[in-house]
Structure formats: structure tokens, C-alpha cells
A and B are shown apart, each in its own frame.
Chain A
Amino acid sequence: MINLQPYSNPMYFVWLAVALLPLMIGLYFGKRLVVYQTIISGIFLLLIFGGPKWQQGLALIGYIIFQLLVVGGYAAYKKHANQTWAFVSAVLLSIVPLVIVKVVPAIEVGRQSWLGFLGISYLTFKSVQMIMETRDGTIKEFSPVMFVRFLLFFPTVSSGPIDRYRRFQQDYLQVPTREHYLQMIEKAVHYLFLGFLYKFILGYLFGTVMLPRLAHIAIMQRAAFFHSGISLALVGYMYTYSMYLFFDFAGYSLFAVAASYLMGIETPMNFNQPFKAHNIKDFWNRWHMTLSFWFRDFIFMRLTFFIMKHHLIKKRTRIPQAAYLINFLIMGFWHGVTWYYIVYGLFHAGAIIINDYWLAYKKKNPQLPHNRWTEGLAIFITFNVVCFSFLIFSGFLNTLWFQAH
């Protein structure tokens, strides 16, 4: 049985082009070939989760049935009642599989839960979002078929971008005009080739060619600077890893967006030149955007309202600070239950809080200079703070300090 990991080798793109061609011809003539699309989606999912990964495939099927029950059940309940406990239980239930998958390797090192499969966290984001929007009343009708299509939209199934249900549904049901579809194809081809440059050339250069060498040198010098391991090679590792992380992930995201566009679905973009950010807040509006917007809409905003509504914190300026801390702590845990992901989350929360202080100070002191030099300085500082956070995120410090011998 063949197994194909999404966007991992040239053959995948050949299969993708062949499979999407009839669908594209249909869309060009103003018709979505629903049956055909369902069939090829099934085949691609089978290629991703079949063969040697069949256990993941079973876990995925179980997961989908479970989420159908939870989300569908809550939607049915919401039609005649709206108790908070029911909403909270539905959200908690819906994240249970993800929590188990994240906690198991932390309890027993190296073990993976059999509930896990590639992309479980992205599917969980989509499910939780459904429950929350059902609670808000913005999603009124629950369609199990559309929900499954939304969850299992194969171009984005493994690592996002994280779409929104209502947006997806609208694109799915409404075929774009020919003119608009041509624009989408044009963008898709551009994104696809930009993705090749990012992932297979730059990502390869930074991640496969440079990174292992720098890691080796840095580990050799782990006794440097009073046994802290701080060396030039470590600094090199930090920047190289940051570049690798961006080009690899942005490349992947471009592929996912391009494939979506070809299928007539305008999946949102994930990156917008993040290293040009002027401050940390700006950075999170440009980096892994669909994730940070998800956290903003479904965690940060809700937390802020919750704290204000219940007067949990008296001082107004403290409210966003608390919300940031919890928000980024959850994001850290979501990445994985290890010290470096959690520190990464707290580091960003700290950075954003300091940034808030600075912005407030700047507002009070309008005489502070603002020109392209200060802007350049801001970009430089933000870039370095971000790269340092990625060094934490990489887990390399863990290897350097606690594992290498």
C-alpha cells in the first residue's frame, strides 16, 4: 500500500495535478463536481493515512465520529437550550483526544498515544470553533456532511492553515465566476512556485544543509562560556533555525493555499512577511496567522470579556496582560508538553506585555522621535527577539544542556 506524505516529494504534486484537473475543468465551466471531489479527497486521505500508517487512519475515523457526536450533539441541544455548563462540557469533550495525545508522550517519554494522527490539533481547532460559533448563534444549522468536508478538506488536513466553517461553506456552495476563478488559478500557480522556492530550496538549504553542521559545532562547544553552551555556533543555529522554520512552514502553507485555490476554496493565508514586523503584536499578525487569529478570537477575546464581565481583575491594564499570559501558555502547551514549548509561550507573553508598556509610554510622550531609523531599529529588535524565541522553541537548548554527551 502506497503512503504519500502531503507536499513532501515531487510525485505528490504530479498526483495532485492529475487528480485536480477534472475538478478544475468543472470549476472553469461553473460547476463543482461534488461526487468527484469527494472521491479524490477520499483517495488522498487514504494515501496520507493508509499503508504503514493505517493505525493513524483508524484513529482519524474514530476521531471524526467522536467530533460528529460532540459538535452535532451540542448543535442539537443549542436549538432549545443555552446553558453554560453544556457549552463548557462540549468544548472540554472536544479537546479531550488532543489533550490525551499531547500528554501521553510527556508522561512516558517516546510513547505516542494510539489516538493520535497527523493533523489532530488542526482538526481540533476546527471543531472547537464550531462549538463556539454555535454557542454565539453565528452557526445556526449543523450539517454533518459539510462539517466532515470542512474537517477533512485534504489540502489543509495535516498542518493547516486553519479555515473558518462559514467561510469554507460559502466557498464550497458558491462556485466562483470564471473571471474570479482564473484569478485564483493565477495566484495558485504563483504560490505553488513560491512554495517550491521556500520549502525545497531555501528550507532545504537552511534546514538540511546548514542546520546539522551548526548543531554539531554548537554541541562540540557546549562547554563554552562558563558551561552555558553560548557560542557563535549557537547564535548561528538560532538564526538558521529561524530561517528554516519560516521557509519550511511558509512553503508548506503556500502549497496548501494553492491547492485550495485550485479547488475553488479561498483558504486564508498563513504568513505575511513576518520578519518585517515592527513589534511583537505586529509579528503575531503576520506569523502563522490562522493560528494566532484563532487564538485571538476564541481564547484571548473571550478570556478578556470573561474577566471583565465577572470583575475578576480590578485594574484595567492588568486584564489584557493576564489574557496574554493564559493565551500564550495554552499555545505553548498546544505545541507539546515540554519545558521549551511552555517557556516559548511565556516568553512571547512577556514580550507582548513589555511591548504594551512601551506603546503606552510612547503614546504619553509624543515628542519621542519616529522616523525610518527608529522603525528600522524596531524591526531589528523584533526580529532578534523572535529568533531567540525560536531558539527556545527548537528544543535545541534541551539537547545542548540535558541530552548531548
Chain B
Amino acid sequence: MKAKGKLWLIFGPVIIAAGSLILLFSLPLGWGHFSDRTERQAAVSLSPKVFRGRKIKQQALENNYVPFFGSSELSRLDAFHPAVLAAKYQRSYRPFLLGAAGSQSLTHYFIMQNLGSQLRGKKVVFIISPQWFTKQGQRPDAFGFYYSPLQTTDWIIHAKNNTADRYAAKRLLQMPSGRASQTTAAALENIANGQPISKFQTTVLRAKETMLLNEDALFSHFQANKNLARVEKSEKVLPAHYSAPQLNQLAAEVGRRETSNNQLDIKNSFYKSRLSGHRMKVLQNSQTSFDYRQSPEYSDFQLLLTQFSKWHVNVQFIIPPVNDRWANYTGLSMPMIRQTDQKIKYQLQQQGFTHVLDLTNDGNEKYFMEDTIHLGWRGWLKADQTIDPFLTKQQPAPSYKIQNKFFAKKWQTSTHIE
């Protein structure tokens, strides 16, 4: 009897702790509404936690937020960044920034998986970088950094037996993160092979989904990030009333001031921390063999197009240029860049994606790029000339014609467009 009492004393607290933890995460608790400020913070946080989550994105997109998909250029939060312009001039939309260094098509495909009901029939902005289209395509470590078990679980539960979903499952299985969990990997194998997932798998995945959702809802309340402060500070730099010529002049001024320590029109801080000294010498002619024309990324990108088409999302694509001086210095081939651009545009236009802002030829514009390959000051303003009307004016409904040939190896490796 005494020993039994002792056992209770030892294990009682453990059982209570484990029980409350299970309850905390397995009950559909919801965890309430996010405040305005939390929303604003999350929208510019560029944090993997936000990309991986669900609830705060859903809430924001149900208000007036519009997803801006992209990669490292989104973090160039100068005064002319879309997030600053929209806030300063009280536009009817606010950008919700989705993407950071290393996020490419495959990451974005999964990021938007659980936004179906928020995106259907809506508009989004998508900045697509030629630099994603490397021979290897999505780097597994970068994919792992943004990988979300929650989105993957959602995706698996709703996956169908079609070309796109089989392709996505195969791609995911090529990433270590896709194989990290046994249940997930097994279900993905089924989808990749065109077989339905079992009842048992569905049950396990649903339970997992509930847990992950609770975790997401709970922890999304804690947004600690300096970006919102940066945006608010940048707003103060801008004139009170919107005037395109005045802004353009200001952007050139700021650009001149901030690119004074080098000949390449690269922002001082970037140059100083990343390029100065002996590093420059190594970089000379270091990119002569870069080639973006053949890449698995083209099919990963096709996944996104298929998804947009399925949800009738109206997409404004933006193709940013490369800083001309930088390209000259590193020996990056401009004909190759133009061919890459053509190939991306072909893939878009063939399938009815007509809103494409191609900035490829603006790489020699002064203060257009903040550094090597990232839009800045005047570049953001030029993009704004397209983004603003696209988002604030009525647009005709798109009509897409998805072609599965873009999932084929043949398209990934083809260097000429028929």
C-alpha cells in the first residue's frame, strides 16, 4: 500500500502534466483573434514562423492584406518598398510579405496550401527571380528552413491523383524535410505512386494537424520583430501626398547618398559587409558560367501556376533585373539572362498569365537596384506603378489554360522555345 502511494506521488504529476499538454494541443481551442498590431507585424516580419503558420495569414488575408510572394528582395525595406508606400498613402491594400532569402517556388507552393479559401478569386503579387532557376533548383537546406509540417499535412489530406500532386509529392520526397516524419513520408509515397492514402494515415494526419494548428495559433500571438518599426520609420521620410515625380526624385537622392562607397551602385552597407576588400577580387568574372535556362525550378514554378489556376487567382508577376554593373563585373551572361526571361514568360503566357511586369532591361537604370540582384529605391517605385493600379482597380477575370507539359523533364532542360 505504501509503495503504491509512492508510485502515485512519483507519476501523478507526470500524468497530469502529460494530460494537460495533450488537452492543450488536441482540443480545437482556437486561441482567439489577433490584434491589428500583431497582423501588421506579421505582414512585414519575413519570419519563417509566419510562413510556416496558418492562422495569422488567414486572418490578415480576410482583411485587406494581399500576399506578395518573393524572396530576398522583400527584405529591402527602404522607404519605397511596397509595404511602406501602401501604409503611407492609405491604399486599400496592405502587402503581406511571404518570402525571404532561399524561398523559391516549392516553398511558396506549400506556404499557400492552407490559404485556399482566402485566395480564391483574389489578387496576388509575385516577384519571380531568375536566380531561382539554377541547375540544382530549390536547395534542400533552404527548403528545410521554411518547411512547415502543418502545410504539408494539410496538403496531403487534400491531395488528388493528378500530375501536379504526384509531381509535388515526388519533389517533397527528394527533400530531407519531407522524409523527416514517417507518417508523412509514407503518405507522400502513396500520393507519388498514384495511390490513395489509407484511413489510418488520414486519422493520424488529422490528429497531427489539430496539434500543429493549436501550436500555430498559440505561438503566432508572439510576434517579436523589428521590421514594423523600420517600416514606420521609413514612412516618415516620404512626402505627405503621393506624387510620382516627387517620389522618383527623392528615390534618386536617397539612392545617390547610400551608394557612395563603390562604383557598382550597390548600397554602402551591403558593399561594406559583403563585398569590400579582398572579396571583390575573387568575385570578378566569378559568374561567367552561371546558367538559369535549365532547372527543375521551371516545373516547381508550374506547381504554383497550377494552384493559381485552380483557385482562379489573378496574379501580377514581376521579373526583376540584375544590376548591370554588377553583371559586367562578375561576367554574368546577359544573353543567358534574357533567354531565361523569355523562357519564364513563355511558360506564363502560354497558360494565360498575362500580367507580367518584365524589368529585365532596367538593370542599368540609376538607383533602380539596391544592390546586386535586389530591387530598391527607384526599382520599387517602378514596380509600384504597376502594382497599385493592378490591386486597386477592377481587373477582368483571368482565364488560364494549364498545360502539364511544363512538368516534364523535357521542359526543364529545353533551351529554346518552340
Interface residues, chain A, CB within 8 Å of chain B? 2, 28, 178-179, 182, 185-186, 189, 220, 405
Contact A2:B182 (CB < 8 A) given known A220-B273, A405-B279: yes
When the two chains form their complex, are residues B279 and A182 in contact, meaning their CB atoms are under 8 A apart? no
Q: In the bound complex, what is the Cα–Cα distance between A365 and B96 (angstroms)? A: 71
When the two chains form their complex, are residues A182 and B11 in contact, meaning their CB atoms are under 8 A apart? no
When the two chains form their complex, are residues A182 and B3 in contact, meaning their CB atoms are under 8 A apart? yes
Closest 5 CB pairs of A and B: A186-B10, A182-B6, A189-B10, A185-B10, A178-B3
Query: Can you name 6 A-B pairs with beta carbons within 8 Å?
Result: A178-B3, A182-B3, A185-B7, A186-B6, A220-B273, A405-B279
Measured between C-beta atoms, what is the minimum distance from A182 to chain B in Å?
5
Q: In the bound complex, what is the Cα–Cα distance between A186 and B9 (angstroms)? A: 9
When the two chains form their complex, are residues A182 and B7 in contact, meaning their CB atoms are under 8 A apart? yes
Q: In the bound complex, what is the Cα–Cα distance between A220 and B11 (angstroms)? A: 50
Measured between C-beta atoms, what is the minimum distance from A172 to chain B in Å?
23
When the two chains form their complex, are residues A189 and B6 in contact, meaning their CB atoms are under 8 A apart? no
- B14 close to A (CB within 8 Å): yes
When the two chains form their complex, are residues A182 and B273 in contact, meaning their CB atoms are under 8 A apart? no
Chain A, residue nearest B272 (CB): A220
Knowing that A2-B182, A178-B3, A220-B273 are A-B contacts, what are 15 other residue pairs whose CB atoms are under 8 Å apart, sorted by A's residue number?
A28-B3, A179-B3, A182-B3, A182-B6, A182-B7, A182-B10, A185-B7, A185-B10, A186-B6, A186-B9, A186-B10, A189-B10, A189-B11, A189-B14, A405-B279
Q: In the bound complex, what is the Cα–Cα distance between A355 and B14 (angstroms)? A: 45
Residues of B within 8 A of A178 (CB): 3
**In chain B, residues 265-301, which have Cβ atoms closer than 8 Å to a Cβ of chain A?**
273, 279
Measured between C-beta atoms, what is the minimum distance from B267 to chain A in Å?
16
Q: In the bound complex, what is the Cα–Cα distance between A2 and B3 (angstroms)? A: 38
Residues of A within 8 A of B10 (CB): 182, 185-186, 189
Number of B residues whose C-beta is below 8 Å from A? 10
Q: In the bound complex, what is the Cα–Cα distance between A2 and B273 (angstroms)? A: 44
Residues of A within 8 A of B14 (CB): 189
Chain B, residue nearest A405 (CB): B279
Q: In the bound complex, what is the Cα–Cα distance between A189 and B18 (angstroms)? A: 13
Residues of B within 8 A of A189 (CB): 10-11, 14
Q: In the bound complex, what is the Cα–Cα distance between A405 and B281 (angstroms)? A: 12
Residues of A within 8 A of B11 (CB): 189
Measured between C-beta atoms, what is the minimum distance from B320 to chain A in Å?
26
Render B1-34 as a binary contact track against A, CB cut-off 8 A, 1 for contact: 0010011011100100000000000000000000
Measured between C-beta atoms, what is the minimum distance from B370 to chain A in Å?
19
Chain A, residue nearest B11 (CB): A189
Q: In the bound complex, what is the Cα–Cα distance between A179 and B10 (angstroms)? A: 13
Residues of B within 8 A of A28 (CB): 3
Chain B, residue nearest A187 (CB): B10
Residues of A within 8 A of B3 (CB): 28, 178-179, 182
**In chain B, residues 182-209, which have Cβ atoms closer than 8 Å to a Cβ of chain A?**
182
Measured between C-beta atoms, what is the minimum distance from A248 to chain B in Å?
21
Residues of B within 8 A of A220 (CB): 273
Q: In the bound complex, what is the Cα–Cα distance between A189 and B11 (angstroms)? A: 8
Chain A, residue nearest B13 (CB): A189
Chain B, residue nearest A182 (CB): B6
Measured between C-beta atoms, what is the minimum distance from A400 to chain B in Å?
16
**In chain B, residues 95-132, which have Cβ atoms closer than 8 Å to a Cβ of chain A?**
none
Measured between C-beta atoms, what is the minimum distance from A227 to chain B in Å?
11
Measured between C-beta atoms, what is the minimum distance from A117 to chain B in Å?
21
Q: In the bound complex, what is the Cα–Cα distance between A334 and B101 (angstroms)? A: 39
Q: In the bound complex, what is the Cα–Cα distance between A185 and B12 (angstroms)? A: 13
Residues of A within 8 A of B7 (CB): 182, 185
Measured between C-beta atoms, what is the minimum distance from B251 to chain A in Å?
28
Chain A, residue nearest B278 (CB): A405
Residues of B within 8 A of A2 (CB): 182
Chain A, residue nearest B282 (CB): A405
Measured between C-beta atoms, what is the minimum distance from A4 to chain B in Å?
10
Q: In the bound complex, what is the Cα–Cα distance between A215 and B273 (angstroms)? A: 15
Q: In the bound complex, what is the Cα–Cα distance between A182 and B2 (angstroms)? A: 11
Measured between C-beta atoms, what is the minimum distance from A209 to chain B in Å?
11
Q: In the bound complex, what is the Cα–Cα distance between A2 and B279 (angstroms)? A: 44
Measured between C-beta atoms, what is the minimum distance from B90 to chain A in Å?
36
Residues of A within 8 A of B6 (CB): 182, 186
Measured between C-beta atoms, what is the minimum distance from A255 to chain B in Å?
15
Measured between C-beta atoms, what is the minimum distance from A25 to chain B in Å?
11
Measured between C-beta atoms, what is the minimum distance from A335 to chain B in Å?
27
Residues of A within 8 A of B9 (CB): 186
Chain A, residue nearest B17 (CB): A193
Residues of B within 8 A of A405 (CB): 279
Residues of B within 8 A of A185 (CB): 7, 10
Chain B, residue nearest A189 (CB): B10
Q: In the bound complex, what is the Cα–Cα distance between A54 and B357 (angstroms)? A: 52
Residues of A within 8 A of B182 (CB): 2
Q: In the bound complex, what is the Cα–Cα distance between A28 and B7 (angstroms)? A: 10
Q: In the bound complex, what is the Cα–Cα distance between A23 and B222 (angstroms)? A: 43
Q: In the bound complex, what is the Cα–Cα distance between A178 and B11 (angstroms)? A: 16
Q: In the bound complex, what is the Cα–Cα distance between A220 and B3 (angstroms)? A: 60
Measured between C-beta atoms, what is the minimum distance from B3 to chain A in Å?
6
Q: In the bound complex, what is the Cα–Cα distance between A178 and B3 (angstroms)? A: 8
**In chain B, residues 331-381, which have Cβ atoms closer than 8 Å to a Cβ of chain A?**
none
Residues of B within 8 A of A186 (CB): 6, 9-10
Q: In the bound complex, what is the Cα–Cα distance between A175 and B86 (angstroms)? A: 73
Chain B, residue nearest A1 (CB): B182
Chain A, residue nearest B179 (CB): A52
Q: In the bound complex, what is the Cα–Cα distance between A182 and B7 (angstroms)? A: 7
Q: In the bound complex, what is the Cα–Cα distance between A185 and B11 (angstroms)? A: 9
Measured between C-beta atoms, what is the minimum distance from A84 to chain B in Å?
51
Measured between C-beta atoms, what is the minimum distance from B175 to chain A in Å?
15
Residues of B within 8 A of A182 (CB): 3, 6-7, 10
Q: In the bound complex, what is the Cα–Cα distance between A186 and B5 (angstroms)? A: 12
